Structure 1
Amino acid sequence: MSPSTTPNWPGESRASMALAFDVDGPTGDAMLNGSIWQKPEYFGFGAYDPYRALPRILDLLDAVRIPATFFVPAWVVENWPRQCQAIVERGHEVAYHGYKHESFYALELEEQRQVMEKCREVFWKVLGIRAEGFRTPSGDWHTHTPGMLLDAGVIYSSSMRGDDRPYLVNVAGHSRPLVEIPGHWELDDYASLAYTKGPNFPSGLDRTASYELTLDNWCREFDGAMDEGLCLTTLFHPKITGKPGRLLLLERLFEHMRKRDDVWFATCRDVAHWTLKEHGND
């Protein structure tokens, strides 16, 4: 795809919006190194994600009639099965996000394969699905990761940052390429709304952005991408935006999105299949 190429979208749609949430729960570095068990406040913050915040997000998506993709570590699926089953039952996509939110860049190929095999087992046992998508928990990947994903039955990734259109990653020895649906930090709620008390910087000042400014930023990103005919996805987290006040922020964002009648609202899986079809690979 050349820099000047604008993707084609279904029907009369000018652009595509692939809303996505990462349901990380209490997984991550603290879970992987065991320090989470000495920091109960971190576990509680993470557990709020699938237990309390996720149901709110699902109710809001029902109200605005927008499909979404949820990237979920398999450990979260194991420990909050009913909440994760509700994602599938309500018509959304669940995709891979590691087992305990591992850094795939730091894993050797065989270790990556073991993580993906565990994820596949859990998703099938608990959710009854073979997921087709993957978002690397660390925002990067190893050279061998695309081939490993294809071997695991994955057709797309939403991990990289190098474009604002879906593109194909060709892998030696594989007849079908991997679709990459890039995300960007501008649409990551952690960048604006995640509060941490350590380090205490800037000392004595607010460490979350104004909700009004955050909404304005997100609406401008959406408008710009849709005007150019691109594909926009998000890196939202229910434990960040699934709280009562912030849910109102999401509600206003979705209302803004719904004002346009030239946008294809789709799951990342739908975008991936469409992209493969457009390039003669489906």
Structure 2
Amino acid sequence: MRAIEAARPHWPEGRRSCVALAFDLDGPTGGAMLDGSIWRNPSYFTLGAYGPWRALGRILDVLAEHSVPATFFIPAWVIENWPAQCRAIVEHGHEVAYHGYMHEAFWTLSPDEQRDVMARSMRLFDRHLGVRPVGFRTPSGDWSVETMRILPEFGVCYSSSMRGDDRPYLLDAASGLIEIPARWELDDYASLAYQRNPDFPAGLDRIASYETTLDNWCREFDGSHHDGLAMTTLFHPKVSGKPGRIALLEEFVGHMRAARGVWFAKCSEVASWWTASGQGTTT
């Protein structure tokens, strides 16, 4: 038996593979907000604000058109400042999950500072959305050794932060914390984010061909589906929710919907299934 066959997970109702679409609704949070420089840069602020203010609605329309669920990882500051837009996510039946308060780099924070961020975020999700999330995606793409012990204190049962497999896996046996790994290949920043400062190397393109980007995404799905794995995205409304780019998402979702035997699920559903089906010990 091939190794990939032996490692093939099983999914509900005999489905062949799993897709958990996920979006990071960062807004203008991040390094520039944390150091205060964003308040002197209106163009950069509005670039981020475009996500919750304008792009999110297009994303929700595509998901509704294709009847596909998704998970939105949201810094609590975004919820605090765009509560109506974030409530629309919940009203459309999607999942919302933790993503820091201002997109902090968790690996730079002490355990107490991490707890403060989580506690503040939990209060804001509850106050504005009436939700206590069970999921977390580290804003910085990394965390400290204490983080996986802190998350369960706030009701978190899964993370989507690491890169260690093509399947969910158990992070912490004591708490049962599950990891649903995403991959940089399915991060829209890698192909579509424009960076003008620093402009280096000078003269080279900053954005990939849309045709090539869509082809890359579809090939990633095709490989995951062939091997019966779980695929999670790192999409950002402010990057891929533009009028021209939304067609990429529409075609990508349509491509996946045309495949037979795909289980489309929220990340929380994937984590629950993985644990309940006795696959949680896979590493």
TM-score, normalising length from structure 2? 0.96
> Which piece of structure 1 moves more, 92-101 or 6-15?
6-15
1:216-239 CA distance string (max 9 Å, x none): 000000000011010000000000
Which residue number corresponds to residue 188 of structure 1?
A: 187
Match of 2:197 in 1: 198
Take 1:184 and 1:205, find their aligned partners in 2: how far apart are those partners?
25
Structure 1 segments of 4+ aligned residues over 2 angstroms from their partners: none
1:261 is displaced (CA, Å) by 2.2
**CA deviation digits over 1:236-280, x for unaligned, max 9?**
000000001100111111110110121100000100100110228
Which residue is 1:118 aligned to? 120
| 1:249 corresponds to | 248
In structure 2, the gaps of 5 or more residues are none
**Amino acid of the structure 2 residue aligned with 1:98:** G
**What residue is the counterpart of 1:96 in the other structure?**
98
Q: What one-letter code is carried by the residue in structure 2 that aligns with 1:150?
A: P
Q: For 2:64, which of 59, 62, 65 is the aligned residue?
A: 62
Q: Does 1:177 align with 2:176?
A: yes
Distance 1:280 1:206, change over 3 A: closer
Q: 1:5-16 counterparts in 2 under 5 A?
A: 5-16=7-18
Counterpart check, 1:147 vs 2:146: no
Q: Give distance in 2, aligned partners of 1:238 and 1:170.
A: 31
Which one of 121, 128, 131 corresponds to residue 129 of structure 1? 131
Residue in structure 2 matched with residue 218 of structure 1 by the alignment: 217
Q: What is the DSSP-based 3-state SS (H/G/I as helix, E as strand, rest coil) of the residue aligned with 1:16?
A: strand
2:162 corresponds to 1:160: yes
Q: Secondary structure at the match of 1:239?
A: helix
1:140 partner SS: coil
**CA distance, structure 2, for counterparts of residue 72 and residue 177 of structure 1:** 23
Structure 2 CA distance for partners of 1:280 and 1:164, relative to 1, 3 Å: closer
Give secondary structure in 2 for the equivalent of 1:17: strand
Match of 2:36 among 24, 30, 34: 34
> Using the alignment, how far apart are the partners of 2:279 and 2:204 within structure 1?
53
Consecutive unaligned residues of structure 1, counting only runs of 5 or more, are none
Give the % identical residues: 61
Worse overlay, 254-263 or 16-25: 254-263
Q: CA deviation at 1:203?
A: 1.5
CA-CA distance at 1:196 after TM superposition: 1.0
CA distance in 2, matches of 1:14, 1:33: 46
Give the Cα–Cα distance (whole angstroms) in 1 for the partners of residues 268 and 201 of structure 2: 40
Match in the other structure for 1:260: 259
CA positional deviation for 1:209: 0.2
C-alpha distance in 1 between matches for 2:143 and 2:157? 16
The 2-side partners of 1:96 and 1:31 are apart by 18
- TM-score by length of structure 1 reads 0.96
Amino acid at match of 1:95: A
Letter of the aligned partner of 1:257 in structure 2? Answer: M
